[in-house]
Amino acid sequence: MQIAFAKAALPKSGILVVPMAEGGALEGLAAALDKALGGGLGRAMEAASFTGKKGQSASLLAPGAGLKRVLLMGIGKAESFTAKLAEELGGAAQAALAKETEATVLADKLAPDLAAHIGLGARLRSYRFDKYRTTEKEDEKPKLASFKILSASAVKSEAAYAPLAAVAEGVELTRNLVTEPANELYPEEFAKRTEALKKLGVKVEIFDKKDLEKLGFGSLLCVGWGSARESRMVVMQWFGASGSSSSEGKKTKKLKNPIAFIGKGVTFDTGGISIKPAAGMEDMKWDMAGAGTVTGLMAALAGRKAKVDAVGLIGLVENMPSGTAIRPGDVVKSYSGQTIEVLNTDAEGRLVLADVLYYAQERFAPKYMVNLATLTGAIIVGLGHEYAGLFSNNDELSEKLLAAGKATGEGLWRMPLAPLGESYDKNLNSDIADVKNIGGGRAGGSITAAQFLQRFVNGKPWAHLDIAGMAWAGKDTAVTPKGATAFGVRLLDQLVRDNFEA
């Protein structure tokens, strides 16, 4: 779907969306439209008891003036209309008009940047993964190809939309990766797809099984022992602050105090020898959503040329049961040198992250580290599908993340972590190794998982986002159709935009 901005002038045909503030009068183009319709707009609002409350809508079919339809949409109090609400408006308009071929939105009384966010919301809501659909009838497909926004300043709106479009592309990349079936997207294939980021200026390094064995990634590699698919790690560097080029054949500078983003990439998780129940196991194709988000984020930062040095690292494995799979009770040596007693092979994501987190801090000395993972079912029990769990050893970073989540609608809820909960950490002490990969039973499972990760961060400012309840939506929401959400891409882009750009 094409998003376009145009000068404020009443269209003479098609579908017109008219946003209305609560208790507000018809102004600008809306007033001109009402006049052209002989007061029809005002009469329709009165007949429908339409007051402009957020979520209200009213539709006028064939109202005149050449228009096919007018859709009134309430935006709530004008002074409370934020970028987030503008995105929700755009998403709602797109969903309501998906069967139409084109739509126009009156935004002449809104700031140009808010008009741009309407466009972002419409684009995010229009996402559709139809790669494997072969028999769908034409009349069942969405038809909305043109979404035009009439702005008080089309030039300013276009300028504001350009970086948002880059973020949308990152979101779409993540959604594509997370939606792919595991027979199509396995560690080697995932790694290959990250190479597309090179055209954006991202330096991409792929570490294969031999590379990881040489490094001593015993914790990550043990997860993939049972799979026919070899494990990988990908490192993606964006030199947005140092100004160095990452093009092939050119010398690059070293990243300067980068922000590091680390993602869990289990392309399919059977649970291994500690095998999961059959019901719902098909969902485990998206156990790589953390890695998908980091990849989409790096594409977004590079696409909008963010003035920040950032590095994205993803550990890619497939967790399968076989004669070569790791067994409960086995002990492995991690990249950090710590030994890990693996008591449950379905607590595998933390094993992947342990090595990648330690490598990230040792090689890049990042200012902050943020990892994302569909790590525990326990976080869904605690927070449902409304918030991702935030665990952090740094209050400043936590506040920045919470603020970014509020701004984008990708909500976080801070959870306990040592030293606030030292007893949780003690549950990870092993009788025969340095640490065991699960704590004391089911209680506090998301917390003990975070405590395990904290043992591999050496006190560096760090946050762990458990996105298990947020990576996949079971129903449509304002800017996200049912399916892969790409949760975290907009959140972390906002974090960078607000706090870390030069």
Q: Give the pLDDT score at 139.
A: 84
Which sequence spans correspond to the domains of the chain?
Answer: 2-160, 185-499
* pLDDT tier at 440, thresholds 50, 70, 90: confident
pLDDT of 441: 75
Mean pLDDT of 4-22: 94
pLDDT tens digits along 450-480: 999 999 999 999 999 999 999 999 999 999 9
| Three-class secondary structure of residue 69 per DSSP | strand
Q: Is 276 a catalytic residue?
A: yes
475 is an active site residue: no
Instruction: Tell me: pLDDT of 247 over 70.
Output: no
Question: What value does the mean pLDDT take over residues 332-341?
Answer: 98
Mean pLDDT value across residues 88-117: 96
Class for the domain spanning 185-499: alpha beta
pLDDT, residue 250, reads 54
Q: What is the DSSP string of 204-265?
A: EEEE-HHHHHHHT-HHHHHHTTT-SSPPEEEEEEEETTT-----TTS--PPP-S-EEEEEEE
- Coil vs helix vs strand at 15: strand
Summary mean pLDDT of the chain: 95
CATH 3.40.710.10 fits 2-160, yes or no: no
Q: Amino acid identity of 462? A: W
In the set 276, 305, 333, 367, the catalytic residue is 276
Identity of residue 245: S
What local confidence, expressed as pLDDT, does residue 419 receive? 61
Residue % of the chain over a pLDDT of 90: 89
- pLDDT digits over 144-203, tens only? 999 999 999 999 999 999 999 999 999 999 999 999 999 999 999 999 999 999 999 999
Q: What is the largest CA-CA distance in the chain?
A: 84
Res 420: pLDDT: 52
Tell me which of 84, 350, 400, 436 is the catalytic residue: 350
For residue 251, the model assigns a pLDDT of 58
Instruction: Round to the nearest angstrom and report the end-to-end CA distance of the chain.
Output: 33
* Nearest alpha-carbon partner for 490 in 406, 375, 415, 414: 406
**Same fold across 2-160 and 185-499:** no
Provide the pLDDT for residue 120. Answer: 98
> What's the confidence (pLDDT) of residue 245?
46
Q: Does pLDDT of 239 surpass 70? A: yes
pLDDT in tens, 419-437: 655 778 888 999 999 999 9
* pLDDT score, position 421: 57
Q: Stretch 269-289: mean pLDDT, rounded?
A: 97
